[in-house]
Amino acid sequence: MTKKSITILGIESSCDDTSAAVIKDAKILSNIVANQEVHQSYGGVVPELASRAHQQNIVPVVNQALKIANISKDQLDAIAFTRGPGLMGSLLVGTSFAKSFSLALNIPLIDVNHMQGHIMAHFIDEGQKMPEFPFLCLTVSGGHTQIVLVKGYFEMEILGETIDDAAGEAFDKSAKILGLQYPGGPLIDKYAKQGDPNAFKFTKPRVGDLEFSFSGLKSNIIQLIQRERKKDANFIEKNLIDLCASIQHTIISILLEKIDNAVKKTGITQIAIAGGVSANSGLRNALLKRESTHNWNVFIPKFEYCTDNAAMIAIVGYYKYQNQQFANSGITAKARIKI
Ligand code: KG4
Ligand code: ZN
C-alpha cells in the first residue's frame, strides 16, 4: 500500500514578516512572504505596527499560498504555526488565525518553535544534500545567535549563545549608525561587496569560547564616527563602502572563530547555518571556503529559507505530524521559548 501524502499549511508571524506556505510531504508547493515596509524609517521593528500589519496581511497571504499551491482548504491535513519565540503581539495574530482555521476545518493544529524552524529549513526537500545527525548549526537571526548541536529532528542542544546583541541586531544597529534603513543587514552586505574589509579595525569581544558578544562593536563604531566626523563632517558618506566591508568582516570573523571553537570541542565537521544572517554573502562564501580548507561539510539554506518564512514552519509541521505531536486548542503564543 502506498503511504498517503500529507499536506500542511504553515503560518509564520513572529516578527515583521507575515508568511504562509503549503507543504506536501517534504516538498514546498508555495511560500508567500509579505514584508512590512512600515518599519524602514524607524531603524527597527515597531511591535505595535507589526501586529497591526500582520492582521491586515494574514488572510490575503494564506489565500495566496493556497492558490499558488493549487490546494483547496479541504485538502489540508493540518495547520502548523509559530508559537514563539518572537514579539507577543505578532505571534498572537498567527496563533489565533491557526487555531480558528484548524477548528473550522476540524484538522490538527501543530505548534512550532521558530528557532527549530530555521534549523529544520535544511530538511525541505529540494533535491539538495541534507545534513546528517549530529551536526552543528550556527543560527544567526535578528533576535538570536546560537551554536546548536543538532542530534535529531527534535533533539537540539544550545552549546553557546550571545550574551547581548544578536548578529542580525549587530548588522541592523551598525546600519542605523551609518544612516541606513532597517533592515540594515542586506544593505551592509550590498555595500560591503565594493569596500575594503581591512580599512577600519574594530576590537573583538573577550567572552567564553562558545559565547558571542556584539555590543562592543556598536560602541566601537560610534566612537570611530564621532572622532572622524570632527575632522570631516562627510566621513560616513565618503567611507560608506569601506565602513560596511569592515563591519561585516568583523561580524563574520567573530562568527567563524566561534564555529572553529565548536568544531574543536565536538569534533563535528558537519556545519550548517540558519536564520536571516545566513543570507549574508560574506558569511556564505567564508563558510564555503572552509569546506575545502578545513575539510568540512557545509550546509547553506536556499536564500528564501534564510530569512523568516513559513516553509520552515511547515517542514517542522510535517515531521511533527508523523509523530502525531499535535497541540490542543487551548494553546497560547509564547514570546520566550528555548529550542
Ligand atoms: O531570521 P530573520 O528573518 O528574523 C528573525 O528571526 O530575527 O532575521 C532577520 C535578520 C535582520 O537582522 C537582518 O538584518 C538580517 O537578518 N539579514 C542579514 C542579511 N539578510 C537579512 N544580515 C546580513 N546580511 C544579509 N544579507
Ligand atoms: Zn527568524
Q: What is the CATH number of the domain that holds 181?
A: 3.30.420.40
User: What's the confidence (pLDDT) of residue 37?
Assistant: 85
SS3 content of the chain, % helix, strand, coil (to 5): 45, 20, 35
Residues 242/225, Cβ–Cβ less than 8 Å: no
Average pLDDT over residues 309-327: 98
Q: How confident is residue 339, by pLDDT bands cut at 50, 70 and 90? A: confident
| Cα distance between residue 124 and residue 115, in whole Å | 15
User: What's the confidence (pLDDT) of residue 1?
Assistant: 56
Residue type (1 letter), 300: I
User: What's the confidence (pLDDT) of residue 42?
Assistant: 82
Least confident among 28-42, 121-135, 277-291, 292-306: 28-42
Residues 192 and 268 in one domain: yes
Residues 152 and 297 in one domain: yes
Which tens digit of pLDDT belongs to each residue from 108-152? 999 999 999 999 999 999 999 999 999 999 999 999 999 999 999
Query: Range of 288's domain?
Result: 131-301
Pocket of ligand 1 from Cβ distances under 6 Å: 15, 141-143, 168, 171-172, 183-186, 189, 275-277, 279-280, 307-308
Q: How confident is residue 2, by pLDDT bands cut at 50, 70 and 90? A: low
Site to probe by mutation for ligand 1, drawn from 277, 280, 287, 336 as the one with most ligand atoms within 8 Å of Cβ, is 277
H-assigned helices in the chain: 47-69, 88-105, 114-120, 167-177, 184-192, 215-231, 235-266, 281-293, 311-322
| Cα distance between residue 225 and residue 177, in whole Å | 9
Task: Please list all protein residues whose beta carbon sits less than 5 angstroms from ligand 2, which is an ion.
Answer: 141, 308
Q: Give the DSSP letter string of 266-283.
A: H---EEEEESGGGG-HHH
Residue 299, C-alpha cell as written in the block: 550546509
Residue nearest atom 14 in ligand 1 by C-alpha distance? 185
Which tens digit of pLDDT belongs to each residue from 246-285? 999 999 999 999 999 999 999 999 999 999 999 999 999 9
pTM of the model: 0.95
Contact residues for 98 (Cβ-Cβ < 8 A; gap 6+): 11, 79, 80, 81, 109
Residue 332 lies in a domain: no
141 CA from centroid of ligand 1 (Å): 5
**Percent above pLDDT 90 for the chain:** 94
Residue 225 lies in a domain: yes
Residues 46 and 159 in one domain: no
Residues 259 and 296 in one domain: yes
Contact residues for 286 (Cβ-Cβ < 8 A; gap 6+): 252, 256
Average pLDDT over residues 191-208: 96
Residue 334 lies in a domain: no
Whose CA is closest to 193, among 284, 253, 282? 282
Least confident among 44-48, 142-146, 179-183, 259-263: 44-48
Residues 115 and 189 in one domain: no
Which tens digit of pLDDT belongs to each residue from 18-29? 999 999 999 999
User: What's the confidence (pLDDT) of residue 323?
Assistant: 96
| Cα distance between residue 168 and residue 166, in whole Å | 5
Q: How confident is residue 36, by pLDDT bands cut at 50, 70 and 90? A: confident
Residues 77 and 149 in one domain: no
In the chain, the number of structural domains is 2
Residue 191 lies in a domain: yes
Residues 200 and 77 in one domain: no
Residues 223 and 284 in one domain: yes
